[in-house]
Amino acid sequence: MTAGWSLVWDNAGRFAEGALLTVELTVVTMLLAIPGGLLLAFLRLSRWRLIRFAATAFVELFRSTPLILQIYWVYYVLPSFTDILLPGLAVALIGLVCNISSYNSETFRAGIVSIRRGQWNAGLALGMNSAQVMLKIVLPQAAMRVLPALASTWVSLFKDTALVSVIHVGDLAYVALKIRTETFVILPVLNAMAVGYWLMGYPQAKLVDWIHRRYKVAE
Amino acid sequence: MPDFSPILTRWQFLLSALSVTIYISLLSIAFGFLIGIVVGALRTYGGRVVDSVLGFYVDTMRSLPQLVVLVWTFFAFPLIVGFSMSSTTAGIIGLSAHLGAYVAETVRAGLTSVRRGQMQAALALGMSRLEAIHKIVLPQALIRMMPALGSLCTYAIKDSAIASVIAVPELLRQSQIVVGQTYRYQLVYTTLMIVYFLICYPVARGVDRLYRRVAHLGSS
């Protein structure tokens, strides 16, 4: 057993690299999925029915299928349509961004719709055009309201990045499972993986609780 | 017209895989809800010590990926307790333990959302605390929890696909076997997307519709 733990220690560098990639994937995905979600939310509020339908179909498809399958789908099926062979990391990012954008779009849409009609009318009455009202009146108010939901999505995203390990992207889960197959040392390696995620995820979960308390919308 | 024979010739194999997906989803929903209701109620009414101990379980599950929980349950847990279990059993345990934490959070939020006055009124009418929870607080809370619990059900179905990683013979895993035999990635994975959509989407919309009908019962 002690030999096992020293093995974890010997591979600390690889674990750290994997953990770093997990964090990077989370950050980059969220940075891309916020504009992505906003775009989808706008498209779903569009005045043309066809655009509304297409955006809704996209969102509902990605919300109603398992992320692990979406990652496989992007990995195996997308190249055959586009003739482009993407590296695993790019595939993982595409899958995650499509998925999280869909969830974000629902959050943003709810936030935008929750701003009272009177705010729109007042902005228009002051001579703004609808884009200005959206940017200067509605979005700033909606931003505070969507923060708690966005924070929850952040933590699910952090956890969901572990699924990219199935297409051999070297995140923490992949590194740990690889070391396990290389060395046949199971318990310490899997415990180290769990502890690694726990150490990163637990503070985030607590932070989300705090954000929920701080920015709760009163009934 | 694509050639559907890889799927059509293996329809029995894939159908039984689909039934495994539904089976582990339903069982993990049942156990997850059981864990969640007990833990959520104990955290709300059980005092500070119980709350912090169970809070640790809930927050741990909220910080670990489902994949990690499943892999750990199947490969590491048996080494600690000293007996092995089938991948399906491990899958159901891992899925339930993870889901239970989220249900517990929902139940707790639902119970605390019912105004204090409701409890006080029930006690003033001579009900016991348990009666008040059972007859006054819980019925209102359950209605309010419905949307969140409904989406947790779809999460459970979607997350059951992650059990493919520990070789539970569910739909995704068995489809990978078909892909391995036929190299028909596009066909199999696209069909799979449609199948999961056809299962999850009606569940989500059905719960929405049901909730809209009964939402007024949950307001006090």
Mean pLDDT to the nearest integer, A99-106: 95
Q: Is residue B211's pLDDT more than 60?
A: yes
Instruction: Find out whether B205 and B147 touch, Cβ atoms under 8 Å.
Output: no
Q: What pLDDT digit, counting tens, does each position of B24-42 carry?
A: 999 999 999 999 999 999 9
Residue of chain B with shortest Cα separation from A186: B76
- Neighbouring C-alpha atoms within 13 Å toward the C-beta of B57: 22
Rounded-to-integer distance, Cα B212 and Cα B126, Å: 33
Residue A63 lies in a domain: yes
Domain containing residue A103: 2-214
Provide the CATH number for the domain around residue A46.
Answer: 1.10.3720.10
Would B82 be classed as within a structural domain? yes
CB crowding B61-94: b at 16 or more within 10 Å, else e: bbbbbbbbbbbbbbbbbeeeeeeeeebbebbbbb
Residue A28 in contact with partner chain B when CB distance is under 8 A: no
A178 touching chain B per CB within 8 A:
no
Q: Which residue of B has its CA nearest to A81?
A: B186
Q: Is residue A201 part of a domain?
A: yes
> Which of B154, B162, B196 lies at the smallest CB-CB distance from A163?
B162
Q: CB atoms < 10 A from the CB of A127, how many?
A: 7
Does any domain span residue A204?
A: yes
The pLDDT value recorded for residue A213 is: 87
Could you say which DSSP state residue A59 is in? H
Structural domain includes residue A219: no
Please report whether residue B2 resides in a domain.
no
Of the candidates A68, A76, A198, the beta carbon closest to that of B172 is on A68
Rounded distance, CA B46 to CA B54, Å?
Answer: 10
pLDDT of residue B216: 83
Contacts of A173 in chain B (CB under 8 A): 65, 67-68, 71
A217 — pLDDT class (breaks 50, 70, 90): low
Mutation target to probe the A interface, by most A beta carbons within 10 A, among B71, B153, B157 is B71
| A96 pLDDT higher than 90 | yes
pTM: 0.90
**Residue B206, CB half-sphere, CA atoms under 13 Å: how many?**
9
Comparing C-alpha atoms, which of A148, A167, A159, A187 is closest to residue A8? A187
Domain limits for position B36 = 19-218
Report CA-CA distances (Å) from B4 to B9, B10, B40, B91, B187: 9, 10, 47, 31, 8
Looking at chain A, the whole-number percentage of residues with pLDDT higher than 70 is: 97
Q: Which residue bears the tokens 């993990």?
A: B28
Please indicate if any CB of chain B lies within 8 Å of the CB of A186: yes
Asked if B43 contacts B50 with a C-beta cutoff of 8 angstroms, the reply is: yes
The minimal CB distance from A73 to the residues B154, B164, B189 is found for B189
Distance separating alpha carbons of residues B17 and B169, to the nearest angstrom: 6
For residue B115, being part of any structural domain is answered with yes
Number of domains comprising chain A: 1
Predicted pLDDT of residue B220: 66
The nearest CA of chain A is from the CA of B156 a distance in Å of 10
Q: Residue B1 domain-assigned?
A: no
Residues 6+ apart with CB under 8 A from B144: B110, B113, B114, B218
HSE-CB at A107 with a 13 A cutoff on CA atoms is 23
Query: Average of pLDDT values for B51-61?
Result: 94
Prediction ipTM score: 0.90
Instruction: Determine contact: A168 vs chain B, CB below 8 A.
Output: no
Is B64 near chain A, with CB under 8 Å? yes
Q: Determine the pLDDT at residue B3.
A: 82
Q: What average pLDDT does the structure give for chain A?
A: 89
Residue located via tokens 């489902």:
B66
Number of domains chain B contains:
1
Can you say whether the dihedral through the CA atoms of B107, B108, B111, B112 is positive or negative? Answer: negative
CB contacts of B76 in chain A (<8 Å) are 186-187, 190-191, 194
- Residue B37: which CATH number? 1.10.3720.10
Across the interface, do B185 and A80 touch by the CB < 8 Å criterion?
yes
Average pLDDT across chain B, whole number: 91
B189:A155 CB<8 A = no
Residues B119, B137 contacting (CB under 8 angstroms): yes
Position A62 pLDDT exceeds 70 = yes
Q: What is the predicted pLDDT for the residue at B158?
A: 95
Q: How confident is the model at residue B1 (pLDDT cuts 50, 70, 90)?
A: low
Average pLDDT over residues A171-197: 91
- Which of A26, A82, A102, A159 to substitute to test the interface with B, most B CBs within 10 Å? A159
pLDDT, tens digit, for every residue of B86-133? 999 999 999 999 999 999 999 999 998 888 888 899 999 999 988 998
Mean pLDDT of B53-77: 94
Mean pLDDT of A118-126: 90
CA distance A63 to A100: 9
Q: What CA–CA distances, in Å, run from B143 to A111, B148, B156?
A: 23, 10, 20
A8 versus A17: the higher-pLDDT residue is A17
Question: Is the pLDDT assigned to residue B174 strictly greater than 50?
Answer: yes
B122 domain-assigned: yes
Q: Is residue A186 part of a domain?
A: yes
